[in-house]
Structure 1
Amino acid sequence: MEGPHIKVREITPDEAPALLELQLENRDWFERFSPARAPGFYTLEHQLQLIRKQEEARRQDQAYEFGIFTNTGGRLIGTISLFQIRRGPLQSALIGYDLSRACNGKGYTTEAVRLLVDCGFRRLGLHRIEAGVMPHNIASIRVLEKSGFQKEGLARQNVRINGRWEDHQVLAILNPDDGEEGAEPEPGQATDKMEKRQ
């Protein structure tokens, strides 16, 4: 998946050092809005394990995690994912993302969100993609609204972050081409589509 300034693609095991570097350089920046990191998170071994778990989650049609790379130079500057994939009558997922502090304010996150939403609707057959953002994270809310998400309400004390239960603004976007007669993908069908089209 490619936009004017960035590419969104899978992170390979040999890119684990670049992923670790991204996490270390942005540790304080990312942790402001993230649940507690697991022990050993900031090690090469742990990042490699995460990449391998992401590969398995894709095979199981449970989650789709990608890196955000610059078109010029191919530098890893962030991550973005569709996770908690729910099939059957729901056909929904959550979206989450992190972008390097040095690259904020350049439109890269909005570009990545739009690419992944398109992937979720056109390739994975999702009907609904939802996001939860702490209300004071105005920049992230703007990214989602520019990408077509609409506010739906407030989830009170929704996620434990830095030792506190934090409220989250719920935003969602619906597949505009998903009619009521749309067929439900069979298990594994979405994964096959991703492998064929990427």
Structure 2
Amino acid sequence: MEYCVEGYRLRPLSRDDFERISRYERVNRRHLQPWEPLRDEEYFTTGSAKARVEQQVNSMQAGNALCFLLLEPESGEVLARCNYTNIVRGVFQACHLGFSLAESAQGRGLMKKTLQVTNRHCFEQLGLHRIMANHLPRNVRSERLLESLGFEKEGYARAYLKIAGVWEDHTLRSLINPEQ
């Protein structure tokens, strides 16, 4: 499966994407640092990226996750990624969404357009009922993006995730499948 977003390729992660992911993480290291866990130098090696991609693909094959990449059509470089993880079936039919956008791609609406496609995929193709996305209260860009996509604020979690070495509060949001 592959989609087109503003002329860019949007497709699921594959095992051979580890070098792309490694480059994306190295190039955007400073840009993403305030919003992610502390990363040691080993994290930014190609070998570490290969192991993470392998684990993510295995999770996708097990039906526990779905990871997408937005790629430059000519170079194949990663512009954005979004991960739907912790997919739970049964009476819950829900997952968590995480996403990031390359610094060079900021301000063009690419993340919104990407998530519109991938959220719809999760609802229509996977039959999920709820997508949950959480953000730091000070991350105004993520807050505005999620609100523009219809994610409703459902709560506030104190000391929710350890980001940049500090336990940080998060705003809890969700998007409910409009067809269910």
Length-normalised TM-score, structure 2: 0.91
In the TM superposition, residue 37 of structure 1 has moved relative to its aligned partner by 2.9
**Partner SS for 2:37:** coil
The offset of 1:3, in angstroms, is 2.3
Partner of residue 135 from structure 2, selected from 100, 120, 133: 133
Separation in structure 2 between the aligned mates of residue 84 and residue 142 of structure 1, nearest angstrom: 24
| Structure 1 contact 6–108 (Cα < 8 Å) conserved | no
Query: Which amino acid in structure 2 is aligned with residue 78 of structure 1?
Result: A
For 1:112, give the aligned amino acid: T
CA–CA separation in structure 1 for the residues paired with 2:134 and 2:166:
16
CA contact (8 A) 2:28 2:102 kept: yes
How far apart, in 1, do the equivalents of 2:164 and 2:31 lie?
Answer: 13
Gaps spanning 5+ residues in structure 2: where?
Answer: none
Q: Could you give the per-residue CA deviations for residues 25-49 of structure 1, whole angstroms, max 9, x where no partner exists?
A: 1101112111233662111111111
Structure 2 CA distance for aligned equivalents of residues 128 and 177 of structure 1:
11
Amino acid corresponding to residue 11 of structure 2 in structure 1: R
Specify the alignment match of 1:51 in structure 2: 53
Q: Which runs of 5+ in 1 are unaligned?
A: 179-198
Q: Structure 1 vs Structure 2: percent identity of aligned residues? A: 27
User: Does the 8 Å CA contact 1:66/1:79 hold for their aligned counterparts?
Assistant: yes
2:167 is aligned to 165
Q: Which amino acid is 1:109 matched to?
A: M
**TM-score normalised to structure 1 length:** 0.84
Q: 1-side partners of 2:14 and 2:64: how far apart? A: 18
Change (3 A) 1:83 1:38: farther
SS at match of 1:142: helix
Structure 1's consecutive aligned runs of 4 or more residues displaced over 6 angstroms after TM superposition are none
SS state at 2:150 partner? coil
Distance in 2 of aligned mates of 1:39 and 1:21: 14
Q: Comparing 145-154 with 121-130, which one deviates more in the overlay?
A: 145-154
**Cα shift readout 1:79-121 (whole Å, capped 9, x = no counterpart):** 1110011111100001010111111111011011111110110
User: Bigger radius of gyration, 1 or 2?
Assistant: 1
| Number of residue pairs the alignment of both structures matches | 178
Distance 1:73 1:45, change over 3 A: closer
Q: CA RMSD in A?
A: 1.6
Q: After superposition, give the CA deviation of every residue in 1:119-156 in whole Å (9 maximum; x if it has no partner).
A: 11001110000100001100011111111111112111
1:75 and 2:77 correspond = yes
Per the alignment, residue 42 of structure 1 pairs with: 44
Distance 2:140 2:161 in 1: 17
Q: Aligned to 2:125, which of 117, 123, 126?
A: 123
Bigger fraction of residues in strand: 2
C-alpha displacement at 1:158, in angstroms?
A: 0.6
Contact 2:93 2:128 in 1 (8 A): yes
